[in-house]
Chains A and B, each alone.
Chain A
Amino acid sequence: MRLAVFVSEYREPEMLERLKAEKLGIVLVQNGVYHAALKKDGNVSPVLSKDVEYYALSEDLQSRGFSDSDVVDSKIKVINYDGLVDLIFNDYEKTIWL
């Protein structure tokens, strides 16, 4: 399956480690964008340690005082609301919120 996982909190969801999919995308939204924009004590968030697709929502970054270029790893694609809709319809079959 092609699964998009929305992460909306700034903590590591335990379920994230267990999820498997042919194509797994982690979409960082709301307070989840802090994973994309910050290092804590110099370390990137453990949420970013998986070999999957990563996305962060531009509007949520900017609302919190970050710019799109503040993402800590180039593997994170910054997308806007329109891009998110395209992603859900075109690239993934199922979506879940953690």
Chain B
Amino acid sequence: MAIKKIAFIVEKLPYKSETSRLALTHAIASQTVEIHLEDGDNVEPVLAFVGDGVLNCLKNQKALDIYGVSSLEAHIKNALLLDLRVLVCKEDLEGFGLTEDSIVMDAEEIGGEVTTQVVPYEEIQQDLESADHLMFF
């Protein structure tokens, strides 16, 4: 009878490898795992983008048109739709000269209610400490 908190930390770039996409699909899948667990057990995921990983969150990715694969942008919107906590490191975003306007902040068009949180790394560090398991992608 417990809730296990899993932090999915994405620090890799998208597309060249499948790594960051795996992070998203694992994090999203963790929201449906409840049906396989005992009553009272559950998984609480948090998804955090740090370092080069913040570039997964850029808007207007045309990967579906050009590569024929779903964009990381679409996966992040799905994560928001499922009420995942999505964190983006503020310092790393600013390091690339990017702002909240440059990244996926919500999934309103598909009915999502939660928004991406741009937070200082210190806050992500606190999530790392409070998580039961860490998964780096």
> CB within 8 Å of B: which residues of A?
8-10, 30-31, 34, 38-42, 59-60, 62-67
Contact = CB atoms under 8 A, between A and B. Distances in A.
Contact of B95 (A41, A64, A66): A41
Contacts of A41: 95
Contacts of A10: 13, 52
A31 B59 contact: no
A59 B66 contact: yes
Interface of B: 13-16, 52, 55, 58-63, 65-67, 71, 73, 95-97, 102
Given A38-B97, A63-B61, A63-B63, 19 more contacts: A8-B16, A10-B13, A30-B16, A31-B13, A31-B15, A31-B16, A34-B13, A40-B95, A40-B96, A42-B97, A59-B66, A62-B65, A63-B15, A63-B62, A63-B67, A64-B55, A65-B61, A65-B102, A66-B58
A66 B61 CA distance: 7
Given A39-B97, A41-B95, A65-B73, A9 B16 contact: yes
Contacts, number: 50
B50 to A, nearest CB: 14
A64 to B, nearest CB: 6
8 contacts: A34-B13, A40-B95, A42-B97, A59-B66, A63-B63, A64-B58, A64-B61, A67-B60
B66 A63 contact: yes
Contacts of A65: 58-62, 73, 102
Which residue among A34, A63, A65, A67 has the maximum number of chain B CB atoms within 10 Å of its CB? A65
A65 B65 CA distance: 12
A62 B62 CA distance: 5
Nearest to A81: B66
